[in-house]
Amino acid sequence: MSEKRIHLYVLILILVCVLAIIIFYAVRYIPLFNVSSISIQGMDNVPSSTLQVLAEYNGINRFSIDEKALEEHIEENPLIESCVITYSFPSQMNVTLVPSDEECMLYDGNGYWLIAHGYPQKFDIADAGIYAEQMCTIEVSPDYISYMERYGVPDSFRQVLELISRVNEENSWLITHIKYDNNTTDGFGQIVLSLESLNSLLYVRQRVSRQRISDSIRVIQTAMSDDPAGRIDFGIVRWDLYSTALVRRTVE
């Protein structure tokens, strides 16, 4: 190959690169590519904070957006497992979301939390009302949230969450409130189920099966139905569930 031809190829390559750079920056100023609509798929109830983030990109040129950074920012919301952003020509942004597969959210008296990547992560309280209908809400102490923020979520608590989720799924029409107490050790702790229509509190004091808890709720339902006086008593009947017994305590 002659030296003149080599010089020609080099010149053409330089011109192509310069032209590509000019086009790359020029399209950022063409209104045709300014985001005019945003389509969101994958979630029926999109977190309000995510909607606010995406709304900021209306009117922004699509070639000026760092999609990877935006995806990572959206994925910081614990309610969202993953996010993928694509475009339809010329200016529609398509956002595909995969919701978290967590079934329980935590409430510590100050805000709502979801387990993500092994740690509790706080999410916008404005979304709590929407997701309360889809998730089981469990009250925990602020100290226990702080403990998990520092050391991570214990495996024992993961098992408790799964247990509570299954029990609530079977008995949601009777369970009005769920509280979990733990002294920050890696033990079972204590689950407290409020059964307002039965005028009862069920304290699950030892690790038992889902079936055992559901059976105990049915026993309480039968007992309170057979005891009209207990149903109209102004106090709350407390029940303690152990691995081998269900004990009815005095009225509180």
Q: What is the DSSP string of 7-34?
A: HHHHHHHHHHHHHHHHHHHHGGG-GGGB
CATH 3.10.20.310 location in the chain: 33-100
205-246 confidence digits (pLDDT tens): 999 999 999 999 999 999 888 765 555 555 789 999 998 999
Q: Cα–Cα–Cα angle for 191, 113, 168, nearest 5°?
A: 40
Domain 33-100 falls in which CATH fold? Ubiquitin-like (UB roll) (3.10.20)
Question: For 219-229, b where at least 16 C-beta lie within 10 A, e where not — what string?
Answer: ebbebbeeeee
pTM, two decimal places: 0.80
Residue whose pair of structure tokens reads 């310069």 in the numeric block:
18
H-type alpha helices, 2-109: 3-26, 48-55, 67-75
| Pairwise CA distance, residues 232 & 221, whole Å | 14
26, burial (CB in 10 Å: exposed 0-12, middle 13-18, buried 19+): exposed
Quick check: 3 pLDDT over 70?
no
Cross-strand partners of 203: 192, 240
Q: What is the pLDDT of residues 123-143, one digit of tens each?
A: 888 888 778 778 899 999 999
* pLDDT of 25 strictly over 70: no
pLDDT at 20: 65
